[in-house]
Amino acid sequence: MICQECNQRPAALHFTKIVNGEKTEVHLCEKCAQEKGEMFMFNGEAGLSFNNLLAGLLNIDPSFKQPSQSPFHQEEILQCQHCSMTFPQFLKVGRFGCARCYETFQDQLKPVIRRLHGGNWAHNGKIPKRIGGSIHLRKQIEELKHNLRESISREEFEQAASIRDEIRQLEKRLSASHEGGE
């Protein structure tokens, strides 16, 4: 197989990724792979780092390319106010400059994150206890509301009533923490 970048050398790196049926195939020779930002670990024996392939993947995505207009016509380049990283810079290195970049580049990022994480867009795991007080409450309320609907559909009204009371309590605590907090 020939390298898909230079179309000259034989491809030495074959990378296939299938997430939820979406398939991306990359075939590169060693030289192009290195130029695209992929790195081999320093002892030359270990494999490719997945993260280093990311920059390459982002650039390959056609939906992701900047519209090809003359540089003068280009709209203002998005830049993070906090760390001054620009979006093209991010595309190049595949790493953000700071936590606020996520907010700055939110709109551009959404399709990328979805694709990287099998269509997911929202965190569903651990929450730091210290900063997560109200988040915890909100998640708990959401869960209870789900249980409430289920109990009603099963016609377990006594249980539903007790769940409803619990939700009210939590909502009271949530609004109290908001007034007190900010």
Partner 1 sequence: MSLERFLNQAVSSWMSKDGPDSDIVLSSRIRLARNLEAYKFPTVFSHEEAKRIISDMENLLRQETMPKFGPMELLKIDEMQPLQKRVLVEKHLISPNLAEESPYGAVLLSENEEVSIMVNEEDHIRIQCLFPGLQLAEALEAANEMDDWLEQHLQYAFDEKLGYLTSCPTNVGTGLRASVMMHLPGLILTHQMGRIIPAINQLGFVVRGIYGEGSEALGNIFQISNQITLGKAEEDICRDLMGVVSQIISQERSAREALRKTSNIQLEDRVFRSLGVLTNSRIIESKEAARCLSDVRLGIDMGYIENISKTILNELMILTQPGFLQQYAGGPLRPHERDIRRAALIRERFQMEFKKFGEE
Q: By the criterion CB under 8 A, which residues form the site for partner 1?
A: 14, 16-20, 41-43, 45-51, 54, 82-83, 85, 93-99, 102-103, 109, 112-113, 116-132, 135
**Least spacing, CB of residue 72 vs partner 1, in Å:** 28
**Beta carbon nearer to partner 1, 1 or 18:** 18
Q: Which of residues 72 and 122 has its CB atom nearest to partner 1 in the complex?
A: 122
Of 39 and 161, which has the nearer Cβ to partner 1?
39
Contacts of 93 (CB under 8 A, 6+ apart): 37, 55
Query: If we measure between CA atoms, which residue out of 149, 148, 181 comes closest to residue 166?
Result: 148
Cα dist. 172→137, 159, 165 in Å? 10, 20, 11
Distance in Å, CB of 159 to partner 1, minimum:
25
- The CA–CA distances, whole Å, from 131 to 7, 99, 128, 171, 182 equal 52, 15, 6, 18, 13
CB of 50 to partner 1, least distance (A): 7
> What does the angle CA 65 – CA 106 – CA 51 come to, to the nearest 5 degrees?
65
Residue number with CB closer to partner 1 (54 or 163):
54
Question: Least distance in Å: CB of 142 to partner 1?
Answer: 12
